[in-house]
């Protein structure tokens, strides 16, 4: 059990998917349709884009055909197999927001993101890459590694800011190879003085450009920079609708300030960015049984397009958690890769002190890291049910 009594959830395993029951769309119309109608409409859109496509790779064609088959099975109430794939609720929300020309790209990307980890397929590049503009954060949330002073204190040596040149090097390599880039990880991206340049450099290069922020530092300038960028998704980390609970979780944050910032974001968005395709998500970590996604929706619906609660992993005590006997492979090893502010590359952010890392993006390229011997050795140990030999995998509940 966590040392903090507000955390009363004690998960045994964690998979990273957003569960339908923890997702709520604030603009209910589309998801109120019977699911059969939604599935048919998605099926028809994919099919028609597929018919009109002429430059798909063989792999992409194969994956789209699997997805179309999966939809046929779903529409006819047949069981899906491990390699089948249909979109979940939050993906449907993204799908409905896509420009037509990006439909097949999105389907292929989501297939790789969701199904490659299940089938243990290693693509040339990870389906998603997390880039951390800074490891520094202004908050000390109770479920976060920032509450570990041996990580977040200045003298520990983990704090810093990414150089624009490093960001450019990474983007130059992955453009056209990786569809989804998330600016996030161990710190608060909006603390970076050059975030606007980071965003500008990514303009038009990715299908799923996302940024996570605790929203405490938003002001007019930052909001305009975010809303005028090519971000497809802006995630605001807020877990509670109640002031007392919010401040218990997000230590150093003030509820009134968050509400003020949400109001400002809403006003600027409505006034100047009415036609923007950007989706705003309010996303919290479910650390207490009382947190409820529908109640959050009622409270925050005017400020966001979707509300999500993600499953908790005891990140705050990653290196002290009890050694467990989980033998399942970790999906992160096939899905995402993390580049930190100093260029260090790590397979996950549970291991926030990068004990697993042997690479640096300043000198190594992303493709060779993802396919390196050492990365594959970690995967092999997971595959042969020996993750207990790896620190901190043996304490981690991620599957």
**The one among 25, 249, 347, 361 contacting ligand SF4 by CB under 6 A:** 347
CA distance 246 to 290: 12
Is 393 among the residues that bind ligand SF4 (CB under 6 A)?
yes
What letter does residue 323 receive in the DSSP assignment? P
Give the range of 124-132, 193-201, 242-250, 388-396 binding ligand SF4 by CB under 6 A.
388-396
Which of 50-58, 59-67, 126-134, 391-399 is the region at the interface with ligand SF4 (rule: CB under 6 A)?
391-399
Determine contact, residues 339/320, Cβ cutoff 8 Å.
no
Identify which range of 77-85, 109-117, 162-170, 328-336 contacts ligand SF4 by CB under 6 A: 328-336
Q: Are 284 and 238 in contact (CB under 8 A)?
A: yes
Q: Are strands 279-286 and 233-237 parallel, antiparallel or unpaired?
A: parallel
Nearer to ligand SF4, 239 or 332 (CB): 332
239 binds ligand SF4 (CB under 6 A): no
Distance of closest approach, residue 393 Cβ to ligand SF4, in angstroms? 3
Can you tell me which of 86, 348, 361, 366 binds ligand SF4, judged by CB under 6 A? Answer: 348
Report CA 192 to chain centroid distance, whole Å. 19
Rounded to a whole number of angstroms, the minimum distance from the CB of residue 373 to ligand SF4 is 16
Residue range at the interface with ligand SF4 (CB under 6 A); choices 293-301, 302-310, 346-354, 365-373:
346-354
Q: Which is nearer to ligand SF4, 146 or 398 (CB)?
A: 398
Task: Give 235 or 393: the residue with its C-beta nearer to ligand SF4.
Answer: 393
Contact between 392 and ligand SF4 per CB under 6 A = yes
Closest CA to 242 of 279, 280, 289, 296: 296
The Cα 113–Cα 161 span in angstroms is 28
Residue 27 CA to residue 9 CA, distance in Å, equals 29
Does 350 contact ligand SF4 by CB under 6 A?
yes
Q: Give, in order, the Cα–Cα distances in Å from 237 to each of 253, 267, 308, 362.
A: 11, 19, 10, 30
Q: Mark residue 302 as left, alpha or beta (left: phi above 0; alpha: psi -120 to 50; beta: remaining).
A: alpha
Nearest to 160 by CA among 137, 130, 135: 135
Closest Cα partner for 128 from 209, 42, 217? 209
Closer Cβ to ligand SF4, 305 or 351, answer by number: 351
CB nearer ligand SF4, residue 274 or residue 373: 373
- Segment interacting with ligand SF4 (CB under 6 A) among 98-106, 131-139, 243-251, 342-350: 342-350
Nearer to ligand SF4, 262 or 337 (CB): 337
Which region, judged by CB under 6 A, interacts with ligand SF4, from 217-225, 263-271, 327-335, 362-370? 327-335
Dihedrals phi, psi of 191, to nearest 5 degrees:
-80, -15
Does 126 engage in binding with ligand SF4 (CB under 6 A)? no
Count interface residues toward ligand SF4 (CB under 6 A): 11
Report if residue 398 touches ligand SF4, rule: CB under 6 A. yes
Q: Measured between alpha carbons, how far is 261 from 284 in angstroms, rounded to an integer?
A: 17
Sequence-separated (6 or more) residues with CB below 8 Å from residue 2: 10, 142, 143, 287, 314, 316, 317
* Closer to ligand SF4 by Cβ: residue 222 or 335: 335
Binding flag, residue 396, ligand SF4 (CB under 6 A): yes
Least Å distance, CB 387 to ligand SF4, is: 6
Near ligand SF4 by CB under 6 A: residue from 351, 352, 353, 370: 351
- Closer CB to ligand SF4, residue 282 or residue 348? 348
284 lines the binding site for ligand SF4 (CB under 6 A): no
CA distances from 354 to 15, 205, 362, 363, 379 (A): 21, 28, 16, 17, 16
Q: In this chain, which of 107, 170, 330, 339 binds ligand SF4, going by CB under 6 A?
A: 330
Spatial CA neighbour of 195 closest among 242, 173, 162: 162
Which spans of this chain sit near ligand SF4 (rule: CB under 6 A)? Answer: 330, 332-333, 347-348, 350-351, 392-393, 396, 398
């Amino acid at each position: 059990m966590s040392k903090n009594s507000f955390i009363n959830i004690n998960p045994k395993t964690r998979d990273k998917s957003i569960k339908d029951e923890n997702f709520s769309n604030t603009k209910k119309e589309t998801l109120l349709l019977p699911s059969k109608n939604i599935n048919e409409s998605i099926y028809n859109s994919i099919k028609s884009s597929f018919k009109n496509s002429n430059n798909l790779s063989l792999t992409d064609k194969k994956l789209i055909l699997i997805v179309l088959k999966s939809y046929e099975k779903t529409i006819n109430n047949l069981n899906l197999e491990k390699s089948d794939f249909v979109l979940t609720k939050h993906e449907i929300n993204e799908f409905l927001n896509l420009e037509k020309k990006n439909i097949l790209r999105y389907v292929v990307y989501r297939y790789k993101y969701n199904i490659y980890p299940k089938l243990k397929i290693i693509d040339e590049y990870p389906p998603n890459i997390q880039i951390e503009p800074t490891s520094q954060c202004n908050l000390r949330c109770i479920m976060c590694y920032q509450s570990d002073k041996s990580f977040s204190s200045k003298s520990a040596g983990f704090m810093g800011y990414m150089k624009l040149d490093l960001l450019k090097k990474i983007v130059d390599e992955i453009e056209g190879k990786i569809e989804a880039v998330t600016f996030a990880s161990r710190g608060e991206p909006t603390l970076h003085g050059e975030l606007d340049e980071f965003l500008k450099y990514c303009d038009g290069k990715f299908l799923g450009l996302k940024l996570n922020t605790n929203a405490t530092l938003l002001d007019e300038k930052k909001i305009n920079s975010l809303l005028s960028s090519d971000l497809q998704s802006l995630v605001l980390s807020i877990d509670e609708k109640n002031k007392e609970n919010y401040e218990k979780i997000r230590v150093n944050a003030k509820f009134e300030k968050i509400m003020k910032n949400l109001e400002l974001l809403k006003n600027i968005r409505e006034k100047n960015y009415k036609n923007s395709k950007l989706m705003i998500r309010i996303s919290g970590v479910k650390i207490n049984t009382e947190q409820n996604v529908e109640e959050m929706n009622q409270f925050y619906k005017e400020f966001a397009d979707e509300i999500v609660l993600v499953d908790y992993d005891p990140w705050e005590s990653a290196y002290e958690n009890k050694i467990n006997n989980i033998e399942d492979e970790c999906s992160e090893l096939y899905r995402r890769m993390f580049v930190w502010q100093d260029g260090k590359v790590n397979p996950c952010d549970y291991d926030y002190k990068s004990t697993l890392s042997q690479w640096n993006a300043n000198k190594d390229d992303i493709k060779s890291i993802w396919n390196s011997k050492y990365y594959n050795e970690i995967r092999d140990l997971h595959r042969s049910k020996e993750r207990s030999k790896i620190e901190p995998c043996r304490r981690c509940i991620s599957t």
